[in-house]
């Protein structure tokens, strides 16, 4: 019989962390699961660590394609369960995580995807809580009624390692965007959240490790618009927004434009950043936009300000 849930782990040169990650799954209060590790031809000892486990619930596959999106997509195809959970090879779960996901699937069968709260792991064993604002959920489990609004107010309420999705919905929406190793998660969430509600558990049951080595998050993002922006803007322009107030989606797009302009400014292209900000139309983030416009106009202040941010 199929397990209750399939856990998909993309692996690439994470030998230092993969044992901790797998052990966090093995420590779950719910034990009816399978672990699918899809390795992108690692050059370290990560694959041998996985293959040394004798637990029959752990399955190892060599990736047929290339990239983290493709690895996750392949993992879902191998999954026996219709309930899928994602876990990056340097993150981990608290013992209640699978139970939280399964309860969310049961309580909110129409949800596009589900997710839990999480904490961030820092160097030397330190941790911090992400600032997630305006959830609008007062009980332990609930629906995020304004997903795009929440996504612009602070940290994302969900990370890849804290989310779950039904396999049939994942395949219906085409999975993670191929060829992208940055922003591919937000693009998928945005694509689904435009049409379906998002279920959420306020209990923290996942750990997003910023202290891990070889993290994609430590690499400077490419100087291009985040993939989610194009997906959401296209749907917005075609009047396909079904789940929220159009103003929330409009401001979500404006926030992405401002973040893009900031990356451009940090690269030294003040003129391009200024033009992006000038075209941006926003009411909610007007003062944020104005602040960065001022920095575009006074380049010497940019150096001082960015230097101060780095020192902090």
**Number of neighbours of residue 233 by Cβ within 10 angstroms:** 18
Is 192 in contact with 241 (CB distance < 8 Å)? no
pTM: 0.91
Which residues, in sequence order, are bridge partners of residue 59?
36
* Percent over 70 (pLDDT), the chain: 92
- Whole-number pLDDT of residue 304: 65
- Whole-number pLDDT of residue 221: 67
Residues of each domain in the chain carrying CATH 3.90.550.10: 5-218
What integer is the mean pLDDT of 225-248? 83
CATH class, range 5-218: alpha beta
What tens digit of pLDDT does each residue of 264-277 get?
998 889 999 999 99
CA distances from 125 to 80, 120, 210 (A): 35, 10, 11
Residue 237 vs residue 156, higher pLDDT: 156
Is 265 in contact with 293 (CB distance < 8 Å)? no
Residue 54 vs residue 310, higher pLDDT: 54
Residue 149: which pLDDT band, with cuts at 50, 70 and 90?
very high
CB proximity list for 169: less than 8 A, separation 6 or greater:
112, 113, 192, 196
Is 89 in contact with 10 (CB distance < 8 Å)? yes
Checking if the pLDDT of 220 tops 90, the result is: no
Is 17 in contact with 90 (CB distance < 8 Å)? yes
- Sign, CA dihedral 18-24-27-28, equals negative
What integer is the mean pLDDT of 18-22? 98
What tens digit of pLDDT does each residue of 90-127 get?
999 999 999 999 999 999 999 999 999 999 999 888 99
Average pLDDT over the chain, rounded to whole?
91
Roughly what angle, to the nearest 10 degrees, separates helices 246-266 and 286-297? Answer: 20
Pairwise CA distance, residues 60 & 260, whole Å = 38
Checking if the pLDDT of 310 tops 60, the result is: no
Is 36 in contact with 75 (CB distance < 8 Å)? yes
Q: Which of 9-13, 171-175, 280-284, 302-306 has the lowest mean pLDDT?
A: 302-306
What tens digit of pLDDT does each residue of 47-77 get?
999 999 999 999 999 999 889 999 999 999 9
What tens digit of pLDDT does each residue of 186-215 get?
999 999 999 999 999 999 999 999 987 666
Residue among 196, 199, 200 at smallest CA distance from 243:
196
What is the gyration radius of the CA atoms in the chain, in angstroms? 20
Pairwise CA distance, residues 285 & 255, whole Å = 7
**Number of neighbours of residue 283 by Cβ within 10 angstroms:** 9
Q: Looking at beta carbons, which pairs linking 166-169 to residues 24 or more positions away fall under 8 Å? A: 166/82, 166/83, 166/84, 166/105, 167/6, 167/76, 167/79, 167/81, 167/82, 167/83, 167/84, 168/82, 169/112, 169/113, 169/196
Pairwise CA distance, residues 252 & 18, whole Å = 35
């Amino acid at each position: 019989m199929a397990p209750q849930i399939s856990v998909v782990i993309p692996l690439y040169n994470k030998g230092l962390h993969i044992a901790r990650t797998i052990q966090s799954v093995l420590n779950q209060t719910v034990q009816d699961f399978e672990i699918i590790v899809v390795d992108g031809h690692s050059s370290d000892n990560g694959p041998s660590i996985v293959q040394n486990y004798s637990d029959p619930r752990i399955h190892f596959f060599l990736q047929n394609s290339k990239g983290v999106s493709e690895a996750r997509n392949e993992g879902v195809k191998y999954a026996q369960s219709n309930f899928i959970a994602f876990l990056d090879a340097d993150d981990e779960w608290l013992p209640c995580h699978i139970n939280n996901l399964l309860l969310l699937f049961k309580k909110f069968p129409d949800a596009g995807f589900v997710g839990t709260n999480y904490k961030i792991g820092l160097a030397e064993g330190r941790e911090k809580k992400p600032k997630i604002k305006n959830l609008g959920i007062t009980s332990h489990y609930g629906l995020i009624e304004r997903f795009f609004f929440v996504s612009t107010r602070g940290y994302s309420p969900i990370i890849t390692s804290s989310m779950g999705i039904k396999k049939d919905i994942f395949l219906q929406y085409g999975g993670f965007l191929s060829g992208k190793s940055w922003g591919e998660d937000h693009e998928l969430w945005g694509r689904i959240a435009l049409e379906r509600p998002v279920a959420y558990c306020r209990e923290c049951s996942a750990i997003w490790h910023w202290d891990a080595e070889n993290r994609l998050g430590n690499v400077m993002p490419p100087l291009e618009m985040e993939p989610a922006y194009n997906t959401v803007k296209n749907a917005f322009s075609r009047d396909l927004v079904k789940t929220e107030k159009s103003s929330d989606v409009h401001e979500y797009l404006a926030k992405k434009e401002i973040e893009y302009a900031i990356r451009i400014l940090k690269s030294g292209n003040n003129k391009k950043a200024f033009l992006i900000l000038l075209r941006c139309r926003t009411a909610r983030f007007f003062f944020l936009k104005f602040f960065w416009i001022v920095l575009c106009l006074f380049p010497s202040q940019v150096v001082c300000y960015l230097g101060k941010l780095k020192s902090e």
